[in-house]
């Protein structure tokens, strides 16, 4: 009754910001992402007769009470499904700081879903795992399949799931993740996106997304990096404008975030194709092709305020491993 899973964080190219169903975490729109090789969560879960409550621990960091409640809810969901009454010991570890817009809830809930369902004796298909992970945190469903992933919005719980569009080795892209802030953000994505629909730009964003998805899929199919980059920046800025005009507005960027964006533009002006995308936080994901990695990294490291740089390749999705954390 013990299992360990590793799950990558993912970076959304077409963003999920706003839900059609809050409780079931059915998103307002389809989204597309890439799993990240250097930003991942490892989680060991053991259900045991000797526990009288769940024991949940994050190595080197602390979960807030709110985060613990979400994890407990997810464990109970999995216990119900497996028909077991035992409590779980959960130890989890990230390779990056949580709560800073690096999708720790995505890798966290994906790893928890895969480890806890195996520890509970469930044998679920990839599609079922994505649906279950989604109930914990929406973007977590995209961390289950391999490589480049699409999460279809769906009308009901069972048709809102994620599947792989291409395996990790399909396209040698890099996500140069510039960490400019390691403090947990004040407003989580879950809370922030509850108010997305209050933005006057919400409707426009929703109307534009189907065309953007079609163009992004075309860019992926053709490995057309320029088209790909233009679409991801457009979608990032569209989400950002919605965030900024919600009631109450959200401002996640810092001056260093803006400096990183300017650096990406300077890269392009000097002939190195690179594009940015940013989730709900200040950290900047610079996307480039493998042969531009060195140039982009060397330049970005010089920016004052960039605390560290995490170089990601496209990665496999969540999977069980043999070594346990305890
Ligand atoms: C800005 O998946 O963290 O990163 O479903 O409420 O847990 P909940 O939200 P979450 O939101 C991620 C939002 C985003 C964009 C994205 O990853 O698509």
CATH 3.30.70.890 positions along the chain are 170-312
Cβ 27 under 6 angstroms from ligand 1: no
Locate the ligand 1 atom nearest the alpha carbon of residue 103 and give its number: 4
Least confident among 83-92, 100-109, 187-196, 244-253 = 100-109
Per-residue confidence band for 162, with pLDDT thresholds at 50, 70 and 90:
very high
Q: Pick from 160, 155, 153: which is nearest to 133 by CA? A: 160
Cβ 13 under 6 angstroms from ligand 1: no
- pLDDT tens digits for range 223-280: 999 999 999 999 999 999 999 999 999 999 999 999 999 999 999 999 999 999 999 9
The label of the residue with tokens 């060397």 reads: 298
Locate the ligand 1 atom nearest the alpha carbon of residue 139 and give its number: 2
- R_g (Cα) of the chain, nearest Å: 19
Cβ 32 under 6 angstroms from ligand 1: no
Residue 101 DSSP SS3 = coil
**Amino acid 319: pLDDT:** 98
CA of 204 to the centre of ligand 1 (A): 20
CA of 32 to the centre of ligand 1 (A): 12
| H or E stretch at 241 | helix 225-245
CA of 106 to the centre of ligand 1 (A): 8
Atom 6 of ligand 1 has which residue's CA nearest to it? 190
**Amino acid 171: pLDDT:** 98
**Amino acid 257: pLDDT:** 97
Contacts of 290 (CB under 8 A, 6+ apart): 172, 173, 174, 313
Q: Is the pTM of this model over 0.85?
A: yes
Q: How far is residue 303's CA from residue 156's CA, in Å, rounded to a whole number? A: 45
Cβ 137 under 6 angstroms from ligand 1: yes
Question: Across residues 154-177, what is the average pLDDT?
Answer: 97
- pLDDT tens digits for range 96-106: 766 555 767 99
Locate the ligand 1 atom nearest the alpha carbon of residue 105 and give its number: 3
Per-residue confidence band for 120, with pLDDT thresholds at 50, 70 and 90:
very high
Whole-number average pLDDT of the chain: 95
Cβ 16 under 6 angstroms from ligand 1: yes
Locate the ligand 1 atom nearest the alpha carbon of residue 16 and give its number: 18
Cβ 105 under 6 angstroms from ligand 1: yes
- pLDDT tens digits for range 17-27: 999 999 999 99
CA of 86 to the centre of ligand 1 (A): 30
CATH 3.30.230.10 positions along the chain are 2-168+315-321
Locate the ligand 1 atom nearest the alpha carbon of residue 137 and give its number: 7
Determine the Cα angle at 106 with ends 100 and 109, to 5°.
120
Least confident among 26-30, 105-109, 179-183 = 179-183
Cβ 190 under 6 angstroms from ligand 1: yes
Q: What is the CATH number of domain 2-168+315-321?
A: 3.30.230.10
Cβ 139 under 6 angstroms from ligand 1: yes
Atom 4 of ligand 1 has which residue's CA nearest to it? 279
Q: How far is residue 294's CA from residue 289's CA, in Å, rounded to a whole number? A: 10
CA of 13 to the centre of ligand 1 (A): 12
Question: Across residues 141-155, what is the average pLDDT?
Answer: 97
Q: Tell me the CATH class for 170-312.
A: alpha beta
- pLDDT tens digits for range 74-85: 999 999 999 999
Cβ 280 under 6 angstroms from ligand 1: yes
Neighbours of 146 (CB within 10 A): 22
């Amino acid at each position: 009754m013990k299992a360990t899973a590793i799950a990558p964080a993912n970076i959304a190219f077409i963003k999920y910001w706003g839900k059609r169903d809050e409780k079931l975490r059915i998103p307002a729109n389809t989204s597309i992402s890439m799993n990240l090789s250097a930003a991942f969560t490892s989680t060991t879960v053991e259900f045991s007769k000797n526990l009288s409550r769940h024991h949940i621990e994050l190595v080197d960091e602390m979960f807030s009470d709110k985060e613990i409640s979400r994890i407990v809810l997810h464990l109970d969901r999995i216990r119900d499904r497996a028909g077991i009454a035992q409590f779980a010991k959960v130890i989890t570890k990230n390779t990056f700081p949580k709560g800073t817009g690096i999708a720790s809830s995505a890798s966290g809930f994906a790893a928890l879903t895969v480890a806890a369902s195996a520890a509970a004796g469930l044998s679920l298909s990839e599609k079922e795992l994505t649906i279950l992970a989604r109930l914990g945190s929406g973007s977590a469903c995209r961390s289950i399949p391999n490589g480049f992933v699409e999460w279809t919005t769906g009308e009901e719980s069972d048709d809102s799931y994620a599947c792989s569009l291409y395996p990790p080795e399909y396209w040698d892209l890099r996500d140069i993740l510039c960490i400019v802030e390691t403090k947990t953000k004040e407003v989580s994505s879950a809370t922030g996106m509850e108010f997305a629909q209050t933005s006057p730009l919400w409707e426009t964003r929703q109307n534009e997304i189907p065309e953007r998805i079609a163009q992004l899929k075309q860019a992926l199919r053709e490995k057309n990096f320029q088209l790909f980059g233009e679409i991801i920046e457009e979608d990032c800025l569209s989400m950002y404008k919605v965030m900024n005009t919600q009631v109450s507005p959200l401002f996640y960027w810092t001056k260093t975030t803006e400096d990183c964006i300017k650096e990406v533009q300077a890269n392009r002006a000097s002939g190195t194709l690179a594009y940015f995308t940013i989730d709900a936080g200040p950290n900047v994901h610079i996307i480039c092709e493998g042969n531009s990695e060195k140039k982009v990294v060397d330049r970005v490291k010089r920016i004052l305020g960039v605390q560290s740089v995490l170089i990601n390749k496209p990665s496999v999705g969540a999977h069980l491993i043999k070594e346990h954390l305890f």
